[in-house]
A and B are shown apart, each in its own frame.
Chain A
Amino acid sequence: EDQVTQSPEALRLQEGESSSLNCSYTVSGLRGLFWYRQDPGKGPEFLFTLYSAGEEKEKERLKATLTKKESFLHITAPKPEDSATYLCAVQPNMGSNFGNEKLTFGTGTRLTIIP
């Protein structure tokens, strides 16, 4: 059974204080690992897809990296508007097109950036 564990559950940072969020996963063949951002009362918003170990992707102050067992979301010099819950999810490799199988999500890391 696919599993995703995110840590820490919650993280409070001062504005400008860089840190990393962790996503550990077990999956029967990884098709893709996904990061989403979720604001209160909203649906998750897609950030990144990572496909293979060693891959990195960046967007503004966020950088996602992937190993064979975990992914990190690095946040550099965060601002208050980066406050949100960050979700990690995995899709198994079932041999068909993307979007054909369900994602297994972690419970998220609730990030608070203090001005």
Chain B
Amino acid sequence: GAGVSQSPSNKVTEKGKDVELRCDPISGHTALYWYRQSLGQGLEFLIYFQGNSAPDKSGLPSDRFSAERTGGSVSTLTIQRTQQEDSAVYLCASSFVTHEFYGYTFGSGTRLTVV
């Protein structure tokens, strides 16, 4: 597609439930990133994929968070046993990996609300 697509755009879930967030990157972009944006906070790095591998998972807040990427394309971020502090906008971005940087292209995000 023309841009990075994320689904769902909004998700309300009960505390303790599992959720899956999906990201479709721009075709041909080898790098994929997940960030989290909480109210009043800067974007917080979660995980980075190069192809299907995740060289940097350092931002995942706890073992309740996991992510995978298949076929060098679609990625899924899973949050198990959701807590209220998980409420945030989850943003996915993709980019070419090259010696120059043309900027991430971000999706519009998934707004997760845990009640």
In the complex, the answer to whether A105 meets B43 with C-beta atoms within 8 Å is yes
**For window 77-111 of chain B, which residues contact chain A by CB distance below 8 Å?**
91, 93, 95-109
Please give 12 more A-B residue pairs, beta carbons under 8 A apart, in addition to A98-B95, A98-B99, A107-B42: A43-B93, A43-B106, A45-B106, A46-B102, A91-B101, A97-B99, A98-B98, A100-B97, A102-B33, A102-B45, A106-B42, A108-B42
Is A7 on the interface with B (CB-CB < 8 A)? no
A97 to chain B, nearest CB (A): 5
* Interface contact A100-B108, CB-CB below 8 Å: no
Nearest 6 interchain pairs by C-beta? A46-B103, A43-B106, A98-B101, A102-B45, A105-B43, A99-B97
Residues of chain A within 8 A (CB-CB) of B106 are 43-45
In this assembly, does B56 line the interface, its C-beta being within 8 Å of a C-beta of chain A?
A: yes
- By beta carbon, the residue of chain A nearest B96 is A99
Residues on A close to B: CB < 8 A? 4, 32, 34, 36, 41-46, 49, 87, 89, 91, 97-108
State A4–B55 Cα separation when bound (angstroms). Answer: 24
> CB within 8 A of A98: which of B4, B40, B41, B97?
B97
Smallest CB–CB gap between B112 and chain A, Å? 14
Known: A43-B109, A44-B106. A100 touches B45 (CB 8 A): no
- Chain B 32-59 against A: per-residue CB contact (8 Å), 1 yes, 0 no? 0101000011110100101000011011
Closest-by-CB residue of A relative to B106 is A43
Complex Cα distance A4/B43, Å?
A: 11
Inter-chain CA distance A52–B53, complex, in Å, is 31
Q: Which residue of A lies closest to B50 (CB)?
A: A100
B101 and A100 form a contact (CB under 8 A): no
Question: Would you call B31 an interface residue if the criterion is a C-beta within 8 Å of the partner chain's C-beta atoms?
Answer: yes
CB < 8 Å neighbour of A41 from B4, B56, B102, B108: B108
Tell me whether A104 and B45 are in contact (CB under 8 A): yes
CB neighbours of A87 from chain B (8 A):
42-43
Asked whether, in the complex, the Cβ of A32 is within 8 Å of the Cβ of B45, the reply is no
Contact sample, A vs B, 17 pairs, CB 8 Å cutoff: A32-B101, A43-B106, A44-B104, A45-B106, A49-B103, A87-B42, A97-B97, A97-B98, A99-B31, A100-B97, A102-B48, A102-B56, A102-B58, A103-B43, A104-B45, A105-B35, A107-B42
